Amino acid sequence: MFFEESPDRQSLSEFSCDVAILGAGFAGLMCARKLTRLGYRVAVIEPLTEVLGGASSRNEGWLHAGTYHALSIGDRDQARQVAERCRYGWEQIRRDFPEALEPEGHAAIAIVSEDRVAESARRWDSAGVGYRPASARDLKVVVGDVAIGPNERPFLVDDLGLDVRVLAARLGHEIRAAGGVILTGHRPTALGESSVQLTGGPTRTLHFRTLLLATGYATSKVCGELGLEPPAIRLWRSHLIALPRLTGPSVFSVAGGHAAMINHGPWSIAGLNEDAEIVPEPTFEPNPEVARRLVEAVVARFPRADISAAHVTACVKVDVIEAPNAARSLNIRVGELAQDVLYVLPGKMTEAPFTADVVAREIVGRLGMPGVCDRPIDQRSMSVSAGERREVFV
């Protein structure tokens, strides 16, 4: 710990770390956990008074097992890659944070239209996604609660509901236990050479060897505030509805315009497949037209849903513009904004463990291993000259 819990140190106006991370969403926290475990001194800076105030607490809490994205992405290679990254995150989170998960006895059910069953099985097989046709016995718990059309086939799959608060609390605990700092209520104001000025409490200067922006939908704004050229990102508004729990298992269709519902204890949270629309600014305000379609999709799939108790919310997803008029990319990004400044966009929450490993490898390459002798082959000369930007992982 460096000063967060120590009153003496609270008054420090200058402090230093190896990696300063802006943003305490899943990208920032997962990177901080991995880097502290490698022995780096890490400080996470978050302007809100609590962690997880951004997109990371405004999602379905769907720990993807690759089932959905293996099918929802047109390009087969991309679909397999996203599904594999989800599987990687699914395995790690399931292994390391079991208390954050819905009990696995509540298996999830994926609904696929009959004409896509053969292709779905091929795609799931190629991405290592676990599935088996759901039997009448598997479905007994949901008959009547879930409308499954005559041309639709249900499959039992590995997807899980995740209580994002429990995961964040565990990440925070691990980061602090490994000597990291999470400084909430502090905002970066000015970027110096290997340092950033923070306001919130007493003005402080944080010295770093590498600065990592994990600021999600605020990335363009933060770049503007710190005088950095932002990556070309777009914002996509997407909607959720929360209802008292409807079924035992989570149930989702993979077809566009259908509902996908993930369960958490007493709650069901449903989204509308492929509802994302570009917006100019981050917003939590729902679009009434999309909210209406979401409610209709939920009622079509869950005829007993009491939508009078429902609450629709919105949040924004982020992608990097790859070409004018390109479809929304589901790819993750780790890139360079300036010589000692990186940014990370994790794709989905489920992909954060994968993305954090990409970041960790980049930091090892840049900073070496703390307290460990370099091998003769290690050269940490940067491949980038000042002003030139490099994508680490696209």
- Options 41-49, 138-146, 175-183, 198-206: segment touching ligand FAD (CB under 6 A): 41-49
Residue 112: what are its φ and ψ, rounded to 5°?
-125, 140
Residue type, 260: A
Which residues make Cβ contacts (< 8 Å) with residue 188, sequence separation at least 6? 22, 45, 196, 197, 198, 222, 225, 226
For residue 214, state whether it binds ligand FAD (rule: CB under 6 A). Answer: yes
x-or-dash string of contact with ligand FAD, 103-122, rule CB under 6 A:
--------------------
For residue 343, state whether it binds ligand FAD (rule: CB under 6 A). Answer: no
For residue 302, state whether it binds ligand FAD (rule: CB under 6 A). Answer: no
For residue 178, state whether it binds ligand FAD (rule: CB under 6 A). Answer: no
- Options 49-57, 121-129, 197-205, 370-378: segment touching ligand FAD (CB under 6 A): 49-57
x-or-dash string of contact with ligand FAD, 137-176, rule CB under 6 A:
----------------------------------------
Report residue 172 as tokens.
């925070």
In 10 A of CB 388, how many CB atoms? 11
For residue 316, state whether it binds ligand FAD (rule: CB under 6 A). Answer: yes
For residue 65, state whether it binds ligand FAD (rule: CB under 6 A). Answer: no
Q: Please, are residues 329 and 314 in contact by the beta-carbon 8 Å criterion?
A: no
- Between strands 160-161 and 62-63, the pairing is antiparallel
For residue 240, state whether it binds ligand FAD (rule: CB under 6 A). Answer: yes
Q: How far apart are CA 235 and CA 225, in angstroms?
A: 18
Q: Please, are residues 31 and 182 in contact by the beta-carbon 8 Å criterion?
A: no
* CB 292 to ligand FAD: min, Å: 17
Q: How far apart are CA 60 and CA 272, in angstroms?
A: 11
- Options 107-115, 174-182, 215-223, 370-378: segment touching ligand FAD (CB under 6 A): 215-223
* CB 35 to ligand FAD: min, Å: 15
Q: How far apart are CA 282 and CA 179, in angstroms?
A: 33
- Between strands 251-253 and 259-264, the pairing is antiparallel
* CB 143 to ligand FAD: min, Å: 26
* CB 215 to ligand FAD: min, Å: 4
* CB 161 to ligand FAD: min, Å: 9
Helices (H) and strands (E) in the chain, counts: 10, 22
Residue labelled with tokens 């097992």: 65
For residue 47, state whether it binds ligand FAD (rule: CB under 6 A). Answer: yes
For residue 220, state whether it binds ligand FAD (rule: CB under 6 A). Answer: no
Q: How far apart are CA 367 and CA 99, in angstroms?
A: 34
Q: Which parts of this chain interact with ligand FAD (CB under 6 A)? A: 22-28, 45-48, 53-56, 58-62, 64, 187-188, 214-218, 222, 238, 240, 271, 315-317, 346, 348-350
